[in-house]
Chains A and B, each alone.
Chain A
Amino acid sequence: MAKTPIAFSLNGMERSMFVDPGQNLLDALRRGVGDLSPKYGCAQGTCGTCSVLVDGKLQLACITLAEAVAGSSVTTTAGLADGSELHPLQRSFMDNFAAQCGYCTPGMLMAAKALLDRNPSPQRQDVVEAISGNLCRCTGYEPIIDAILKAAAFMRTRGRP
């Protein structure tokens, strides 16, 4: 099967790889590059646990063709922290018990980051809408919503550390 060479930026680092026709971005990231932070949940674009940012826009890696990110900038949860300094969202998820099994967490964090990047002062309803494409089965949504709102408040007062 003919493979296509692609180059893209992943969490600020240049990557190049060969992808199969039809190969999705989730598989390319996980098995091709070894970034295991986006998770497989449904491969149907319904659960949100594979969410990543492509040029700052929230996308589901399982229904994005790997070829389509050529030349783009991709951000995953693995690139959220600044070195050893956690992103305020990550810190807030820890402090507010916003993860139990942790499997939906990377997708939740990406959806939250996409929201805060475009709206630093979200209302509760904005947060609910922002994570409406992300399913969680154990934690429950309330601690996650609280964590996102608290991270937003922290970032407004202190700025990003």
Chain B
Amino acid sequence: MYKALDHFDFDHRLMYVRNIFIFSLLFLVAGLAYFQLVKADEYVDLASRNRLRMIRLPSPRGNIYDANGVPLAVNVRTFEIRAYPMDIRRDEDYESTANMFARHGIPMTSADLRERVDRQYVAPYRAVSVIGNLTLAQVSDLVMDDEFSRRLFPSPVWRRIYPAGALAAHVVGYVGEITREELEYQRDLYYQAGDVIGKNGMESMYEEQLRGTVGEQVVEVDSRGRPLRNVNYNDPQNGADLKLTLDLAAQREALRLMEGKKGALVAMDVNDGSVKVLMSVPAFDTNPLTWGISAGEWSALAGDPDKPMMNRVTGGAYPPGSVFKVVTAASLLMEKTVDTGTVISCPGYYRVGTPPRTFRCWNRSGHGRENIHGALRDSCDVFFYENGVKLGIDKLIEWGREFGVGAPTGVDIPGEVGGNIAGRDWKRRRIGESWYHGDTVNYAIGQGYLLMTPLQLVRVYAAFANGGKLVTPRFNSAKKPEWKDVKVSKANMDIIRRGIRDSVKSGTGRAARGFGVEIAGKTGTAQNSQGEDHAWFVGYAPADNPRYVAAALVEGGGSGGSVAGPLAARILSYLLEHDK
């Protein structure tokens, strides 16, 4: 309990503190008196002519070039006229502004004007675009008008142009006005409504590098909106240019090859992962998207059943089919399930499980006796069925993951998917069934739940081509090559390399022969639950000293050898011919 003295001390201190609390409020009274009584006139004046106008000066974005310096994205300067809603939102203002435009041959009614301003309105002091897309000549003509300077501000606008259009659409991407959602979720406070931001591809991936820094002009204006003086001016800073690894001429060749098909063609340097060709068809022109298209045009493009806006190379996950057999072969060899002396006999089918299920080889009449070399050359399914079951699903999945299946490659393009190589647990969770031998059989030849992107496949084949480096594909030429070593021995690599070389020489991949380069590669005809089989070919060239790897996929294309083989072969021979 407290002593009486303490109690006294308490109230004593309490009184002091109370007085401090109460009398310190006089400081606020004094402040209010100073600003609201002594200085009132000055501030009333400031408020009535308040008026600092802040003008954002957009920065030109960095240009994007292909590997040879051909422009893929550039800017052109146009002009727009901006104004503040509080200056022009009266009927007579709309009328006189529209009349002024009419005098200079720009058709715009006061109703149009009102509609435009209302649509962009956020707050009275937030500038809106009254009219856009003017040339320098038009603007200088307008500025001469007596009525102009009152409340209108001309400002330069950089418009993005994609000279290559659809040729590089999926790689370069496009820019557009920032959306409300993007504004809300932006990490920094850089953007404002009306700003342009990269929406896809390189434009989005390297947004921070490309965008530069906006400038800002602060003008004090009088009560009628006439600029009095410049308060502040910061120059906009240009964005940095971006040089890609992509080869536009090869893209043109790829588009020519893929004309009229649905699918993907991708080619990459086997050693440093620089992507030379990325063609996803059908493609789309990015220019209209940047300049603004109607809602109808947009929904037609976005809702097109052929999905032109989807990047099939990085965003499309497909059953890989027989092209996956190199991964199965590597795991069989590394786990010592087979060696070069292991021979099985292929009667054209394989039976497994209780009750037994029959799995057919693509060659119904059978391949007879095959070892691993022959199985790769002839794409013998039974060899992989039988030995895949011996190996077991867990090891197969482990090796699949070692080759990057089921995970994004880390390429510098947004929206990449990782495919699927999920095993027992996933099946139990998703489908509620346990894993059967039949599932293992399917995985062994790249079917079943197995899904890969074309980019993942070129990466796997590049690893065989370059002696075991799983490179990270890249589009930015300034980015350092990165890779991860695959734990496959050199001897086993050589066995597989010989197998897929002979596949083109004398096996199922013969359709890729005779284009002037020696190719090592593998065909695939992937069964597709949604319709026609997908045709695959993945390979590299030259076979003995590989430089490039390519993958061709034709959706619903049927047999891989005859359809996809020549596509990949032609793009490889084109790249080698034009190699410096």
Chains A and B form a bound pair: no
Measured CB to CB, the residues of B under 8 A from A are none
